[in-house]
Structure 1
Amino acid sequence: MGVVRNATLEAWMKESGYSSNSLAEAVNSAVGELTGNVGGLDGSSVRDWKAGRVRWPKSATRVALEKVTGLPATALGFVPRGRAPSSAPAPPPEDPVERRRFLAAGTALAAAAATPASGSHRRIGKSDVERLQCRFDDIVARDHRHGGQSGIEQKAAALADEALALQSSGSATQRVRAYVYGCAAAFRSSAMWAAIDGRRYGDAVTHMREAQALAEMAADPTIKFRIWSHAGTLYRHMGRPSEAIAANDVARNLLITRRDPMFACLGHARQAACYGLTGEATAVQRALGHAQDALDRADPGLARPAWMTAVSNGAELESLALAAHLSLGKFEQAESHAHRSLALLRPYMQRDRALNIARLARAQLGQGEIDPAVATAMSIPPDVVARHPRVTVTIGDFSLKLRTRAASSALTRAWDAYAHAHLKNIA
């Protein structure tokens, strides 16, 4: 039998916005997280998958691909060794409405399966909480790679519902129930963050309110901090700095910031970004100074949630300092923070890296360095710009300011030609 093309994988990639190169990069990063050694795939490897020349990837690659896509390899059109490939045509890409119905139905089925039959005595315990925590860490890892995709938002919201369904599936101690509510709040806060990152602010507000209620039932200061800190970011991106500062104040005054200065660092740094919007340069410097002091006092070896990774090594502080100085028009300082943030960001934090490169281009342009600014902006892969709404908006702002600053420059014409050819969403 001849080679059968994997149309199922091709359809999934098209629907999810992946090119062969970008999927190879995502899988390589996932292999690195799983094994400690980054994978060696390139675009030709993925093209071999699509062409059907590779019917069943190696085990580590296959597990990493399943981690990236959230689907088993067989659902992506791969065929285990020893099994004949189906000659039937691959199904067409899912209709988005049907996909949402499927997700909703899946959540309902999971809830039904979790509910014990009459007379049964299921006990909810530590292993259930650990399972939910592992799935939360996976959502955080997906966010680092892919940013505010609607699929991440939907998955996180569905997992929050699954955690709540678990509550009614059996008996548990008060402490375990609090942990489960905390997991539900964490999932809902991730849905909130994905919506913020995707600039779907109305959805983010809805997730925020549900997350806040769940966090109260959990009585967990760590997840409360995350939700209120995200609320500050939400209001900042909505252009409502006063509410952003108030929300950040709630986060900064929680007990967790006194127990662990790393949380205080994040609270002060996000406050600095808010002050940047209001043009308060002195307040920005004061907040960044407090953030650095807190980072210096924090114990680097302390166990923290996965979403604090970029805070623990200083990358998030540099990123927020970059945003604050960019808002103030202090472009030289912004460029300095951009370079430091890019040096500290982990390789798999693709969204944050692309966003900070776009901000770096804007900082260089603000200093009149048009040639390096254009080169920096062009260094972001076009598919990454298209996938991440905040990167799209930042590059769009760069493009507008470049035309305003140097309308007749040959570099501006070169940028316009590049944007027209590769960046359809901002050209």
Structure 2
Amino acid sequence: MLRIGLTGGMGAGKSTVARMLVERGAVLVDSDAIAREVVEPGTEGLAALVEAFGPEILAQDGSLDRPALAAKAFASDEARTTLNSITHPLVGRRTVELIAAAPADSIVVQDVPLLVENGLGAMMHLVLVVMADVETRVRRLGEFRGIARDDALARIRAQATDEQRRAMADVLLDNDGSPEDLEPQVRALWEERLAPFEQNLRTRSWPPRGPIHVAEPNPEWAAQAQRLIARIGLVCGGAALRIAHIGSTAVPGFPAKDVIDLQLTVADLETADRLRDPLEQAGFPRIEHITTDDGKAGTDIALWEKRIHAAADPGRPVNLHVRVDGSPGQVFALAFRDWLRAVPEAREDYLAVKRKAEAAAAGLSDPRAIEAYLEVKTPWFDEVYPRVLAWADRSR
């Protein structure tokens, strides 16, 4: 199933977005609701809290008196650790139960207020962040929750900053306006990205890339790559010797096709094959028909074998190259990226080749467009291969 993390600051409008997604068929897993559920009267959670903090944290009806608990639990770091050690495992267990109970073809939206603060983005296929101006949020907190301005500002400042949220966001939703302004954003997100992503994930397929186009540099490419690297690293664990952003989008300020190229370095191809299923579940289905790079003269062609995965997400094209540590392709990918970063003349030459290849592919559809593009680029790569390796040797 597709797991979506939904977050945003107080008053930003997460609940409104969650409601709109549920109306379209999403399964909502609300962390705040779960946190309340696991300490209801009669639960093991409430019993554990009473044992740890005393019966004074109970209201007259036997329910949890939250202000009384807060007065004790936030009095010291030790007390806060005790609180978290009781509630966090219960919330985690209940979350797992709810997700497991959802249908296999679900789009599960996890509403997690502290997703950014707790670094949970890598666990999700996508992170949606609802954004609104601070003054808008303060007004809403006063209007709908009765929270005084100074209190609202203090609570907002205690949370993650907007910059921290943007760094973790795959999708930003602007909610400075009314629900009527927000609804078209959510509708387009569902129809154009979330629903196709879920289908691709379930069928282990990837969307068509469209025409080949060399785009102007996007300053977001580096941050996008880091979010992807975090997700891949989580599912691969120690089998990933290194995960690196490679290719043209890894070169700051350099025009490129809007495709993030990543390299996952593994010990051997057997490891690459064992990682196939977890990578596909994480949203990177394997491309079966590509099993090797183009070998270069003077090398053992067999050593250029690799595996490659693509992104199931229609909103972010990705090529994930899985190569063996020390193999010619693995070494060259890193050296070529670093060469482009360091040598202006190399960037100029490569951009000219890319523009020529783009023109050769114009008006063609896959797979002929890709063939035409590569027919121009491949001879150039063959020519610069020894130069790049020589430069890398000198740069060590």
TM-score, normalised to structure 1's length? 0.27
Larger Rg: 2
TM-score by length of 2: 0.28
**Which structure: greater helix fraction?**
1
Higher relative contact order (CA 8 A, sep 6+): 2
Higher strand content, 1 or 2: 2
